[in-house]
Chains A and B, each alone.
Chain A
């Protein structure tokens, strides 16, 4: 379900850093609708983080316009924009600035001018949402990388944003912790209706997460579509320094071995396809046995 009005809209934005002659973003346009789960897929240095900094108003485009809930980002509405669009940075140490978890999660709500009671309520609520209740008094340097990431997410959720932008949320995490972080992200989308935009170069998590995918390469949007549509485009993936998900690669190999299979990109789809194949084979075997019996 995608209502007509986009919650985020980037119109032909271009941006270049003073230290570089090449454009970090080159004529980028995209539209994101309320409640969507969007993946911005691109290799290192493709421009994903620069793109995110525009959505939150940290960077201003050299040309083009950024709209949040239909309003162009200006100096006047920047605080409202930052309340609407929360950003979770790649390195939690850039974001967690207080010596205890609780003090850090309270930082945003305090800046919003909320009462002491309301701040406390929001901190408790956010900690519960990221399954970190009980860690309030802990020092951030006593937490693991995954726990710090969840605290960083809690710090943004405490501001009750409508959109959460996550820069490489699973980078540097072990598989189990990465799954835990992704589950929290799923929950905030499903249970709170928050629009989620995440950047990643991890092609294996994209099919499991994203409603739509934008492929970014050298500051340009190279393609957009569903994960299935994107991962069909072999040339595009190669051009953008990406690859297919491992599951899809396995199905490619099976196809090359002469099996009549559809390329699948998620474990659940793969299971169904493998079961179908097995059923077909047992069916054929059964037919063969029956023929032999005659």
Chain B
């Protein structure tokens, strides 16, 4: 099973108390949680208790948001290898901020040795990584992409940047549909990357053609879109994201206060 853009969009369109929160509040809470996690001491026993408490808080929000558990797990597993690659090397390197190392009794080739300190630091890193990824999954699954961009603008992110981001959101979906059409057209002619009757090299070539065709199409789309932008007066340096004024309501304040209280307690404990 795989998670696609459609799945992420479907989850973000659900209705729940978390979904209905203002995007600004959710972005700030996510940033606060990530900053809290990464600012904890590099290696400390108390880290695990604190981070477990934050993870419990995030999981309760995921439950409240009625996100599909399988979707959350798959998204988490999909991102995990990127962090694991960084974490798994830690036992084998000598971190400059550690004074003394104790060799872990494990026989490895080429004179490679693992250390207890390295393993401990790797575990700290893993815990922080899990918190950050959970927070991001919660934010992106409970906030529509465009709402995130508009909220970022409301928080003061420069207009030029958010305008580009809104276009990126728009054309991400356009190209997702294009890719779906290409794959459908390939399937109608029995193309399957796992088909054992076709040589691997040929399958890779076809995948390469698909990716290169998407690149060419995106380049051409860019040209056509830019022309249409010019036709609508782009270039006046007045372009910005159009949005309504939105007030923070009592539920947003309650969520912000709860998140802040959780973090402050965990800092003080």
B3 in the interface (beta carbon within 8 A): no
B221 touching A94, Cβ below 8 Å: yes
Residues A99 and B145 in contact in the complex (CB < 8 Å), given A106-B242, A107-B239, A139-B173 = yes
Among A95, A111, A113, A123, the one with the most B-chain Cβ atoms within 10 Å of its Cβ is: A111
A86 in the interface (beta carbon within 8 A): yes
B242 touching A102, Cβ below 8 Å: yes
Across the interface, name the chain B residue whose C-beta is closest to A94: B224
A99 touching B169, Cβ below 8 Å: yes
CA distance A119 to B242 in the complex (A): 9
A155 touching B232, Cβ below 8 Å: yes
Chain A 97-113 per-residue mask, 1 if CB under 8 angstroms from chain B, else 0: 11110110011101111
A29 in the interface (beta carbon within 8 A): no
B167 touching A97, Cβ below 8 Å: yes
CA distance A113 to B238 in the complex (A): 6
A82 in the interface (beta carbon within 8 A): yes
B229 in the interface (beta carbon within 8 A): yes
Contacts of B174 in A (CB 8 A): 93, 141
Kindly provide the distance from the CB of A108 to the nearest chain B CB, expressed in whole angstroms.
4
- Give residues of chain B (28-62) contacting chain A, Cβ–Cβ below 8 Å: none
A108 touching B233, Cβ below 8 Å: yes
Contacts of A155 in B (CB 8 A): 232
Of A53, A93, A103, A159, the residue contacting B241 (CB under 8 A) is A103
B146 touching A139, Cβ below 8 Å: yes
Contacts of B167 in A (CB 8 A): 97-98
- Give residues of chain A (33-54) contacting chain B, Cβ–Cβ below 8 Å: 53
B238 touching A97, Cβ below 8 Å: no
B230 in the interface (beta carbon within 8 A): yes
B74 in the interface (beta carbon within 8 A): no
Of B166, B221, B225, the residue contacting A103 (CB under 8 A) is B166
CA distance A95 to B173 in the complex (A): 14
A111 touching B236, Cβ below 8 Å: yes
Counting chain A residues whose Cβ lies within 8 A of the other chain, the interface size class is 35 or more
Across the interface, name the chain A residue whose C-beta is closest to B220: A94
Across the interface, name the chain B residue whose C-beta is closest to A85: B231
Contacts of A86 in B (CB 8 A): 231-232
Residues A96 and B170 in contact in the complex (CB < 8 Å), given A89-B224, A89-B228 = yes
A111 touching B238, Cβ below 8 Å: yes
Chain B 197-240 per-residue mask, 1 if CB under 8 angstroms from chain A, else 0: 00000000000000000000000010011011111111110111
A82 touching B242, Cβ below 8 Å: no
Contacts of A108 in B (CB 8 A): 232-233
CA distance A155 to B227 in the complex (A): 15
Residues A100 and B238 in contact in the complex (CB < 8 Å), given A155-B232, A159-B233 = no
A99 touching B236, Cβ below 8 Å: no
Contacts of A97 in B (CB 8 A): 166-167, 170-171, 225, 228-229
Kindly provide the distance from the CB of A167 to the nearest chain B CB, expressed in whole angstroms.
11
CA distance A97 to B239 in the complex (A): 12
B177 in the interface (beta carbon within 8 A): yes
Kindly provide the distance from the CB of A124 to the nearest chain B CB, expressed in whole angstroms.
12
Contacts of B169 in A (CB 8 A): 99
Of A79, A87, A95, A110, the residue contacting B240 (CB under 8 A) is A110
A79 touching B166, Cβ below 8 Å: no
Among B167, B171, B230, the one with the most A-chain Cβ atoms within 10 Å of its Cβ is: B230
A58 touching B230, Cβ below 8 Å: yes
B149 in the interface (beta carbon within 8 A): yes
A107 touching B236, Cβ below 8 Å: no
A110 touching B228, Cβ below 8 Å: no
A156 in the interface (beta carbon within 8 A): yes
Contacts of A91 in B (CB 8 A): 224
Kindly provide the distance from the CB of B149 to the nearest chain A CB, expressed in whole angstroms.
7
Of B170, B221, B230, B236, the residue contacting A113 (CB under 8 A) is B236
Chain A 111-123 per-residue mask, 1 if CB under 8 angstroms from chain B, else 0: 1110000011001
Chain B 229-258 per-residue mask, 1 if CB under 8 angstroms from chain A, else 0: 111111110111111100000000000000
B230 touching A82, Cβ below 8 Å: yes
B234 touching A111, Cβ below 8 Å: yes
- Give residues of chain A (63-100) contacting chain B, Cβ–Cβ below 8 Å: 79, 82-83, 86-87, 89, 91, 93-100
CA distance A59 to B166 in the complex (A): 28
- Chain B contacts to A: CB under 8 angstroms: 145-146, 149, 166-167, 169-171, 173-174, 177, 221, 224-225, 227-236, 238-244
Can you sample 19 A-B contacts with CB below 8 Å? Answer: A56-B231, A58-B230, A79-B233, A82-B230, A82-B233, A86-B232, A89-B224, A98-B167, A99-B149, A103-B242, A106-B242, A107-B239, A107-B242, A111-B232, A112-B233, A113-B236, A139-B146, A139-B173, A159-B232
Pick the 8 closest A-B CB pairs, nearest first.
A111-B233, A106-B242, A99-B146, A108-B232, A94-B224, A141-B173, A99-B169, A95-B228
